[in-house]
Chain A
Amino acid sequence: MKNPVQRILVYIDGSENSITAAQYAMCLSKAMAADLTALYVVNTKALNDLVRTRIFLQAEEEEYRMDLESDADRYLKHVTDLAAAKGIRIYTEKRTGSVHGEIRKAMEDTDADLLVIGAIAKIRSRRDEFFDETERAMRMVDKPVLMVKNEKRVLELYDLL
């Protein structure tokens, strides 16, 4: 039987949990000799919603979109540096749109076998279930999803690479 995981997609949103997920994905990539892609989604869907509901002015939308684009570049560079430090090759992809929708599309486009995500916040109300983009992605993709927990253990594994 060939390795069931050949291409891994890890979703990065800039949170500590997502960086931990990337480090664990690096461990998996090396152990399984699997290709690894890090994805960041600039949430233009949310920006558009804020303009539509008039919380944002058009000028604000543009300013915040540029900020998010910069964040995307910064965090993707960060995970690239983390991978390079361990001699691991990582592909990066920046997309725009709705987060859960773009994660699903990226899984298809990269033909990934596994989606790796950071631990999601504890659900404290029914609304959280609807609003958490990572959780929505987890429910929507039709491939195995791995949620990474225990930052301390992951850091130990990453350090051992």
Chain B
Amino acid sequence: MPLIDLIDEDVIKTPLTSRLKYDVIMELLDVLKQAGKIGDIDQAAKAVFAREELGSTGLEGGIAVPHAKTTTVRDLTIAIGIAPEGIDFDALDGKISKLFFLMLAPPDQTGPHIEALSEIAKITQSSDFVERLQHAESPDEVLNLFRAP
């Protein structure tokens, strides 16, 4: 399933108001809660933080992809957050993270989960696209970047 089919304005937040890793994850989970995408926010948080404990999902290039399998979502779900000033997310390169893709998937949707993460992985290889996303000032602008030819 293309990433664009998973996102709408309700699941994009820019700028994020949080300044700490824990708070960023909770802020993005709250975005999903407000959008009606998740049921039990505590259960979702537990799954995401359990994954972070194994190793940070803060990648190189200012991108972080916190993710988890959880039964608190019925369908593959994603929230996008942008922090133009950057946040310390324990990234692999030690640098600050500005672009966040938080993804939750029900355990029985491994295939679509892999496809969506794979698309994010490919996006991370395009520094120009990432740069433009990191500077997007509104959810609409983010959506237009994903839709752009």
A54-B92 in contact (CB<8A): yes
Residues of A within 8 A of B (CB): 13-14, 43, 46-47, 49-50, 52-57, 59-60, 64, 67-68, 71, 121, 124-128, 130-133
Chain A residues with CB under 8 Å of B120's CB are 55
Chain B residues with a Cβ closer than 8 Å to the other chain, count: 32
**B64 smallest CB distance to A (angstroms):** 10
Q: Please, could you name 13 A-B residue pairs with CB atoms under 8 Å apart, sorted by A?
A: A46-B117, A47-B114, A53-B121, A53-B125, A54-B60, A55-B57, A55-B59, A55-B117, A67-B107, A68-B110, A68-B114, A127-B122, A131-B118
**B126 smallest CB distance to A (angstroms):** 9
Chain A residues with CB under 8 Å of B59's CB are 53-55
B111-A68 in contact (CB<8A): yes
Which one of B118, B125, B146, B148 contacts A50 once the chains associate, using CB atoms below 8 Å? B118
B1 at the interface (CB under 8 A from A): yes
In the complex with contacts A59-B54, A121-B5, A125-B147, A131-B111 CB distance below 8 A: no
In the assembled complex, the Cα of A68 lies from the Cα of B121 at a distance in Å of 19
Tell me the dominant secondary structure on chain A's binding face. Answer: helix
Residues of B within 8 A of A (CB): 1-2, 4-5, 51, 54-55, 57, 59-60, 65, 67, 92, 107, 110-111, 113-115, 117-125, 146-149
Which one of A60, A68, A125 contacts B149 once the chains associate, using CB atoms below 8 Å? A125
Chain A residues with CB under 8 Å of B55's CB are 57
B115-A126 in contact (CB<8A): no
Chain B residues with CB under 8 Å of A13's CB are 111
**B33 smallest CB distance to A (angstroms):** 24
Chain A residues with CB under 8 Å of B110's CB are 64, 67-68, 71
B111-A14 in contact (CB<8A): yes
**A25 smallest CB distance to B (angstroms):** 20
**A81 smallest CB distance to B (angstroms):** 18
B65-A55 in contact (CB<8A): yes
B114-A125 in contact (CB<8A): no
Chain B residues with CB under 8 Å of A127's CB are 2, 119, 122-123, 146
In the assembled complex, the Cα of A127 lies from the Cα of B149 at a distance in Å of 8
A125-B4 in contact (CB<8A): yes
B147-A124 in contact (CB<8A): yes
Chain B residues with CB under 8 Å of A71's CB are 110-111
Chain A residues with CB under 8 Å of B124's CB are 53
B111-A125 in contact (CB<8A): no
| Inter-chain pairs besides A55-B121, A71-B110, 9 sampled, C-beta below 8 Å | A43-B111, A46-B115, A59-B54, A124-B2, A125-B4, A125-B146, A126-B148, A127-B2, A127-B122
| Nearest B-chain residue to A49, judged by Cβ | B121
